[in-house]
Structure 1
């Protein structure tokens, strides 16, 4: 007796969107935002037309995927896990390593993300990216807060400065990364460039 093959149930639209985004993110790291819908469909194991059943355009899919790829939650959780009882330098060095790792992993996407979001004129996405950036700054400020009285600037300002240093460490002011580790980044922030005893 012939056994009839059971039909695999179709995914709900939100599940399909999530699956397509998940398949797109590794391709963005490999090919950048010029990844094709054919490549995405192959990676997701679907027909190319399936993409346009849940996304109006390729740009919409790429923007959603970039935003998901830049989700700061893993970094936020790692920052919150830093022991507040550690000395300030050690806390900041660990925080700098985490932020630099995030920037380095997503360096190819960050500049493209700004261009894509502006081109798409997606106010909700712009707002989400702003919220993500502010969440990262707040999490850094919380790492700094226990030593607020020792610093000339408030924790939020120090957090902003650390983000600037990490950004320069990743991209470099002239396009060349500086390759400073967390401890050296923090030393530059806290001690400057003069040697001890120099006037």
Structure 2
């Protein structure tokens, strides 16, 4: 006869871990419902009791602000860009970077659009140091690193070239409108004219 082992509770999370888990569960709901999302919906998505949300957030507004701050964070895009294989041609590296940036901007747009359309105004401030057009220093560095194998052929230092590339990405039309990612990369690398300049 075997004796039944007492059940162990899962190890507890730190407040920061719990906060991150709740935000991750809330982001898709906020993108869909904006301010109409309920803490009950978020709790179900996170697999927790609703009261747990209020152990790490003072109110729903603070949770919505945290979701917007998370959407603005470029960490995922930075990781994707930093993992691009450097043995590919530069055009392919830049196309992959452009796709990572597009996904980042779409996420920002989905969360910000849903919140703004439903009347939410952020109480918080900016989430960190940023360069031109909101590009974080980490994002600029990761993008500049893509140009390093061709550093001797660049018209300007890699960081300046990266900033121009990021400006182009941040200002391009929404996906499905205008030029493809490949076309944008080719124009960025080779200019608007075909063939050799006269």
Query: Structure 1: 5+ residue runs without aligned partners?
Result: 1-5
SS in 1 for 2:172: helix
CA distance in 2, matches of 1:117, 1:163: 28
Number of residue-to-residue matches in the alignment: 187
RMSD: 3.6
TM-score (norm 2): 0.72
Deviation string for 1:70-119 (max 9, x for gaps)? 443333232222232333223222222222233234432356789x9983
CA distance in 2, matches of 1:10, 1:57: 26
Q: Does structure 2 retain, via aligned residues, the 8 Å contact 1:37–1:48?
A: yes
Query: Which residue pairs with 1:186 in the alignment?
Result: 185
Q: Does structure 2 retain, via aligned residues, the 8 Å contact 1:75–1:102?
A: yes
TM-score (norm 1): 0.72
- Decide which structure has greater helix share: 1
Query: Which residue pairs with 2:57 in the alignment?
Result: 55
Instruction: After TM superposition, list the pairs within 5 Å mapping 1:137-156 onto structure 2.
Output: 137-156=140-159
Tell me how far 1:192 sits from its aligned partner. 1.9
Q: Does structure 2 retain, via aligned residues, the 8 Å contact 1:96–1:185?
A: no
SS in 2 for 1:128: coil
CA distance in 2, matches of 1:137, 1:118: 28
CA distance in 1, matches of 2:35, 2:82: 31
Deviation string for 1:145-181 (max 9, x for gaps)? 2212212222112111222222233548xxx843522
Query: Which residue pairs with 1:167 in the alignment?
Result: 170
